[in-house]
Amino acid sequence: MAVLLQRHHAAVACLLLYYLTGGLSAPDPRQREALIQLEASMQTGGQMVLTDVEQLLDALLFKMKQEEIARADFPPAMHFFKARDLIRTSPIFNLLQKMPKGGALHVHDFGMVDVEWLVKNVTYRPHCYMCFTDIQSVRFIFSSRWPKALPHCSPWTLLENLRAKMVNTTDLDNSIMGNMTLFTDQDPETLYPSQDVIWDKFEQTFLALWGLVTYAPVFRDYYYQGLTQFYMDNVMYLELRALLPEIYELDGSTHDAAWTLKTYQEVTRQFTADHPDFFGARIIFTIHRGVNASVMASVVEEAMKLQRDFPDIMAGFDMVGREDRGRPLWYFRDALSLPVERGVTLPFFFHAGETDLEGSEVDQNLLDALLLNTSRIGHGFALLRHPVAKDISRKRGVALEVCPISNQVMKLVKDLRNHPAAALMSENHPVVISSDDPGMFGSSGLSYDFYEAFVGFGGIRSNLGTLKELAINSLRYSSLTPKQQEKAVVLWQRRWDTFVSENAF
Ligand SMILES: *[C@@H]1O[C@H](CO)[C@@H](O)[C@H](O)[C@H]1NC(C)=O
Ligand SMILES: *[C@@H]1O[C@H](CO)[C@@H](O)[C@H](O)[C@H]1NC(C)=O
Ligand SMILES: *[C@@H]1O[C@H](CO)[C@@H](O)[C@H](O)[C@H]1NC(C)=O
Ligand SMILES: *[C@@H]1O[C@H](CO)[C@@H](O)[C@H](O)[C@H]1NC(C)=O
Ligand SMILES: *[C@@H]1O[C@H](CO)[C@@H](O)[C@H](O)[C@H]1NC(C)=O
Ligand SMILES: [Zn+2]
């Protein structure tokens, strides 16, 4: 269908061009109008047929957009940390929060919940110990006994005792929070002057919250809380990239990856039982790309086993960590070829092209991901500079998971109007919008990223059809079976119709 439309567009464009170059007369306004219409029809959502009620809402949205763009501070042009308060007061944002957005397909296990919950809820639980590292970060552990000291960290203190000695714990709580997120009230450009600085801090934040979220009772609650936050933001389905780390109990005993995956499955079932209009969640097993080839081979073996044992919850496999510092996909080609050599299914969902280092080894990840038969591409920020990869991605329907706020905070782009996905969406390249690690960026759910995509990428031109197609994309490009997708789309459509009729007048 997409290919047919593309051919159709090409034919129309040729025809128009023929007329344009045919005569030497003054430009014809009707031809101009036809060209404008042609471009508009090519964008994401450009082929959507809107109902009468949808058209009313679309007209309302158009008015809101014009007012938004006339504002002195245009949020998508600003750093998200400074724009967040502005966005919160935006009527468009308000509408996007209510909009059924479908699925979130690119979210990481320990970045899905806002860190305030971690501090206010988790660090107030009993048996929580904290130490201060050499580089002004913090580490945590829950333990029934006094835990053994960590290298490069102060002796452990029981948080309960520490807080009991204080008159006012606000400053302590804020400093803990500051260690678990990138979000800051300071000037982000000064605090994070380079990609190296922000990636270092990013890795520190994960280490800081690690001991909290890998404690078994917290692990369950954290995931349930994460599902709640996405659900409250009108997201009905989630594909979570998860490290499946060792999870520990108060007595120090630990659980393996299969236990962790099973726990995800149980909590998901519990959540959908409590919220029947939530469709569900699936897990993409991830490993840090810092490992070597032999470790990768054994992890891929494990992934194949998990895929076989938990086919319902397990969606596939991916790697995490900064692409520019890690090993390229090609280095792992033997390990990543194991499934296809054995005739075993292990779908891949590779992060690729989250870089602006053109021409490096890592910059080849986009093509290599496609060679390795990836089902989607995480970020694909560099796709515009790879015409062949772009072509394959479009023809095979390998969607890009675009995470606008993440790309801005991690310093790939400053002004979101200049994000490459703006160009990709102007020709309806397969994309979905996601939020990567909302807890790290001070956002939550999907609405902030939808706002940036809708107002920033699309400018005045993107419309209700764009939003509708993006939401449908998030189910169509999910790892759900075609039958499940049908079911999910029906459920989504019902909620969409309600949303439209409740907001069109
Ligand atoms: C912490 O979260 C748990 C699980 O969501 C909840 O049951 C509990 O009431 C919360 N406690 C506080 C102090 O907020
Ligand atoms: C605690 O300290 C914070 C920041 O220092 C302050 O804003 C707050 O009012 C204090 N709370 C109380 C109860 O004194
Ligand atoms: C992290 O915690 C330490 C110790 O409480 C504190 O000195 C430091 O300022 C915190 N960092 C941030 C960014 O809040
Ligand atoms: C790969 O890494 C593992 C774990 O760090 C290590 O034990 C092993 O020796 C490494 N293998 C090679 C070939 O370097
Ligand atoms: C590519 O991946 C899909 C999804 O996992 C799978 O169905 C298909 O068989 C794979 N094709 C090849 C050639 O490996
Ligand atoms: Zn990611």
Q: Which atom of ligand 3 approaches the CA of 132 most closely?
A: 4
What is the per-residue pLDDT for 355?
82
The residue whose C-alpha atom lies closest to atom 11 belonging to ligand 2 is: 168
Count Cβ atoms within 10 A of the Cβ of residue 319 and give its class: 0-12 exposed, 13-18 middle, 19 or more buried: buried
Pocket test for ligand 1, best of 121, 160, 212 (most atoms within 8 A of CB): 121
Determine whether the shortest distance from the Cβ of 297 to ligand 4 is under 6 A: no
Distance between Cα 238 and ligand 1 center (Å): 23
DSSP letters spanning 43-64: STTTTPPPPHHHHHHHHHHHHH
Confidence check: pLDDT of 302 > 80: yes
The residue whose C-alpha atom lies closest to atom 4 belonging to ligand 1 is: 221
Write 356-365 long-range contacts (CB < 8 A, 24+): 356/381, 356/382, 356/412, 357/324, 358/382, 358/385, 360/324, 361/328, 361/330, 362/323, 362/324, 362/326, 362/328, 364/328, 364/329, 364/330, 365/323, 365/328, 365/329, 365/330
Determine whether the shortest distance from the Cβ of 170 to ligand 2 is under 6 A: yes
Confidence check: pLDDT of 13 > 90: no
Residues with CB under 5 A from ligand 6 (ion): 436
Question: In percent, how much of the chain has pLDDT > 90?
Answer: 89
What is the per-residue pLDDT for 2?
43
What is the per-residue pLDDT for 10?
53
Determine whether the shortest distance from the Cβ of 38 to ligand 4 is under 6 A: no
The residue whose C-alpha atom lies closest to atom 13 belonging to ligand 1 is: 121
Distance between Cα 174 and ligand 2 center (Å): 11
CATH (residue range 82-115+202-503) = 3.20.20.140
The residue whose C-alpha atom lies closest to atom 5 belonging to ligand 5 is: 347
What digits encode the pLDDT tens for the residues 378-399? Answer: 999 999 999 999 999 999 999 9
Determine whether the shortest distance from the Cβ of 298 to ligand 4 is under 6 A: no
The residue whose C-alpha atom lies closest to atom 2 belonging to ligand 2 is: 170
Distance between Cα 225 and ligand 1 center (Å): 9
* Sheet containing 138-142: order of strands: 138-142, 128-132, 157-158
What is the per-residue pLDDT for 8?
52
Calpha distance 93→11 (Å, rounded): 38
Pocket test for ligand 2, best of 167, 168, 171, 185 (most atoms within 8 A of CB): 168
Confidence of residue 3 (pLDDT cuts 50, 70, 90): very low
Q: HSE on the CB side for 146, CA within 13 Å?
A: 5
Question: In percent, how much of the chain has pLDDT > 70?
Answer: 95
* Sheet containing 376-379: order of strands: 351-352, 376-379, 399-402, 431-433
Are the beta carbons of 355 and 381 closer than 8 angstroms?
Answer: yes
Confidence check: pLDDT of 185 > 70: yes
Determine whether the shortest distance from the Cβ of 21 to ligand 2 is under 6 A: no
Q: Where are the domains of the chain?
A: 1-42, 82-115+202-503, 116-201
**Helix 482-503 with 52-70: angle, nearest 10 deg:** 70
What digits encode the pLDDT tens for the residues 228-250? Answer: 999 999 999 999 999 999 999 99
The residue whose C-alpha atom lies closest to atom 13 belonging to ligand 4 is: 294
What digits encode the pLDDT tens for the residues 50-85? Answer: 999 999 999 999 999 999 988 889 999 999 999 999
Q: How far is CA 39 from CA 91, 182, 454, 459, in A?
A: 28, 39, 17, 14
Q: Which atom of ligand 4 approaches the CA of 292 most closely?
A: 1
For 71, the 3-state DSSP assignment is coil
Phi-psi region at 431: left, alpha or beta (left = phi > 0; alpha = psi -120 to 50): beta
Confidence check: pLDDT of 5 > 50: no
Calpha distance 434→104 (Å, rounded): 6
What digits encode the pLDDT tens for the residues 115-162? Answer: 999 999 999 999 999 999 999 999 999 999 999 999 999 999 999 999
Distance between Cα 411 and ligand 4 center (Å): 32
Are the beta carbons of 115 and 209 closer than 8 angstroms?
Answer: yes
What is the per-residue pLDDT for 44?
98
Distance between Cα 374 and ligand 5 center (Å): 8
What digits encode the pLDDT tens for the residues 323-372? Answer: 777 789 999 999 999 999 999 999 999 999 888 777 677 789 999 999 99
Beta strands at 280-288 and 254-255: parallel, antiparallel or unpaired? unpaired
Q: Which two tokens stand for residue 79?
A: 């750093």
Pocket test for ligand 3, best of 130, 134, 137, 139 (most atoms within 8 A of CB): 137
What digits encode the pLDDT tens for the residues 260-270? Answer: 999 999 999 99
The residue whose C-alpha atom lies closest to atom 11 belonging to ligand 5 is: 373
Ligand 3 pocket (Cβ < 6 Å) reads 132, 136-138, 175, 178-179
The residue whose C-alpha atom lies closest to atom 2 belonging to ligand 4 is: 292
Ligand nearest to the CA of 183: 3
Confidence of residue 4 (pLDDT cuts 50, 70, 90): very low
Determine whether the shortest distance from the Cβ of 167 to ligand 2 is under 6 A: no
Determine whether the shortest distance from the Cβ of 225 to ligand 1 is under 6 A: yes
Confidence of residue 255 (pLDDT cuts 50, 70, 90): very high
Determine whether the shortest distance from the Cβ of 292 to ligand 4 is under 6 A: yes
The residue whose C-alpha atom lies closest to atom 14 belonging to ligand 1 is: 121
Count Cβ atoms within 10 A of the Cβ of residue 129 and give its class: 0-12 exposed, 13-18 middle, 19 or more buried: buried
Catalytic residues: 354, 379
Say which residues have a Cβ less than 8 Å from residue 55's Cβ, sequence separation at least 6. Answer: none
Query: How far is Cα of residue 277 from the mean position of the Cα atoms in its chain?
Result: 22
What digits encode the pLDDT tens for the residues 191-219? Answer: 999 999 999 999 999 999 999 999 999 99
Pocket test for ligand 5, best of 282, 314, 345 (most atoms within 8 A of CB): 345
